[in-house]
Amino acid sequence: MASGQTTTDRGAALADLLLGLLITACVAGITLPFVTTAMQAAEARNAAAYLASRLREARLGAVASNRHTALVFDQDARGWTIRQCVDGNGNGVRRAELDATTDRCRPPQRLTDLLGVELGLDPAIPGIDEPAGRTDGVRFGRSAMASCSPLGHCSPGTLYLRSDDVQFAVRVAPITGRTRIFRFDPGSRKWDPS
């Protein structure tokens, strides 16, 4: 034992250390849910921005190439895929012609692998223009395609993105093809532009 140090000093230092660890654990326990929610929100926001940019890219591609261009969404047991397709015969992008390879498509990308979030809507949350209850994440008619014409007009619709408790939407306006990103605010139960 060092000179001038008693055994009670060592016990006090251990008690101080344990108290510091306890306070640190409490603070971490309080802040962890906030950090997790912020990380989920950032991930979902980035995914929404990516999808909005892909929609804009399809619109610009249609105008630049003078051919209908579409983002095609397909769902299987593993989730949603996305691929960009271009009209090959002048009658627009059609599902039947995707299978016949008349309309050319880039290889599909799986959204969960690409973005880390899933397309879907919590059934307790209302859509932007509809009551709660629907869970489908792609709402571009029965074809599940966001199609744009050489004049820059796009089919209207909404993509809903979900990351645990965080919900975003990417909306395409009719005619203009303008894309906007919204986030659902659980407090006000409204969709706010993001």
DSSP letter string, 128-159 = SSS-TT---SEESTTTTEEEE-TTS-B--EEE
- The residue among 9 and 63 whose pLDDT is bigger is 63
Identify the three-state secondary structure at position 12.
helix
User: The domain containing residue 54 runs over which residues?
Assistant: 8-193
Instruction: Work out how many domains the chain is built from and give that number.
Output: 1
| In-domain check, residue 162 | yes
Res. 191: pLDDT tops 90: yes
> Which of 78-82, 90-94, 113-117 is predicted with the least confidence, judged by mean pLDDT?
113-117
| In-domain check, residue 132 | yes
- Contact between 40 and 116 under an 8 Å Cβ cutoff? The reply is no
Q: pLDDT tens digit string along 80-89?
A: 999 999 999 9
Q: Work out the mean pLDDT of the chain and round it to a whole number.
A: 85
Res. 124: pLDDT tops 80: yes
Q: Which amino acid is at 167?
A: Q
Res. 40: pLDDT tops 90: no
| In-domain check, residue 70 | yes
The pLDDT of residue 113 is 84
Mean pLDDT of 128-144: 88
Q: Which amino acid is at 94?
A: R
The pLDDT of residue 12 is 64
The pLDDT of residue 174 is 82
Give the residues across from 75 on adjacent strands: 80
Q: Which residue has the tokens 């050489």?
A: 150
CATH of the domain at 25: 3.55.40.10
| In-domain check, residue 1 | no
- Which pTM value belongs to this model? 0.78
| In-domain check, residue 119 | yes
Res. 91: pLDDT tops 70: yes
| In-domain check, residue 2 | no
Distance CA 161, CA 149 (A): 25
The pLDDT of residue 170 is 95
> Which of 24-38, 54-68, 83-97, 153-167 is predicted with the least confidence, judged by mean pLDDT?
24-38
The pLDDT of residue 21 is 74
